[in-house]
């Protein structure tokens, strides 16, 4: 009939071929090192260019608010922190909400004093508090932050 395509019959496979192929694949992988790691007991290798958790040097922050202005996700807000710092007369420092931060690095790049920077740390999951790290928490090593 015109306009009707003939349906091709599916190729018949010898039943053992598939099984043999699978066995060869399994055999190949039996002697290879697994690509998975037993996290958290085993730490994964972190690539050099990996960046996540933001840190803040309270002594170096001059409270210019540039990091807050440049953040595309409004993840940074300035907070009043009562501490002695001759370089930060207004006593304002950034916090960071890691729930919305997309690790774009704008804040690090614009900071005139290198006070805010991204690190290799990635274990920022919290059980009780919000995802927002206060300026003081940003200045602590991750293991000291109360989660």
Q: Please tell me whether residue 111 binds ligand SF4 under the rule CB under 6 A.
A: yes
Closest to 34 (Cα-Cα) out of 24, 19, 20, 44? 44
Pick one of 113, 121, 131, 140: the residue that binds ligand SF4 (CB under 6 A). 113
Q: Residue 40, preceding bond cis, omega within 30 degrees? A: yes
Q: Please tell me whether residue 94 binds ligand SF4 under the rule CB under 6 A.
A: yes
Stretch that binds ligand SF4, among 20-28, 42-50, 64-72, 121-129 (CB under 6 A): 64-72
Q: Please tell me whether residue 138 binds ligand SF4 under the rule CB under 6 A.
A: no
DSSP 13-52: --HHHHHHHHHHHHHHHHTSPPS---TTTSPPPPPTT---
- Given the rule CB under 6 A, which residues bind ligand SF4? 61-67, 70-71, 73, 75-76, 94, 96, 101-107, 110-111, 113, 115-116
């Amino acid at each position: 009939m015109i306009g009707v395509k003939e349906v091709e019959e599916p190729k018949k496979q010898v039943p053992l071929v598939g099984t043999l192929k699978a066995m060869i694949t399994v055999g190949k992988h039996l002697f290879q090192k697994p690509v998975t790691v037993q996290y958290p007991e085993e730490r994964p290798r972190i690539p050099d260019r990996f960046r996540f958790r933001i840190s803040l040097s309270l002594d170096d922050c001059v409270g210019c608010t540039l990091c807050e202005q440049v953040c595309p996700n409004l993840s940074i807000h300035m907070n009043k922190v009562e501490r002695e710092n001759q370089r930060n007369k207004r006593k304002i420092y950034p916090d960071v909400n890691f729930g919305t931060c997309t690790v774009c690095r704008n804040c690090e790049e614009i900071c005139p004093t290198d006070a805010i920077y991204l690190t290799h740390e990635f274990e920022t999951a919290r059980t009780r508090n919000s995802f927002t790290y206060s300026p003081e928490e940003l200045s602590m090593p991750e293991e000291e932050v109360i989660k």
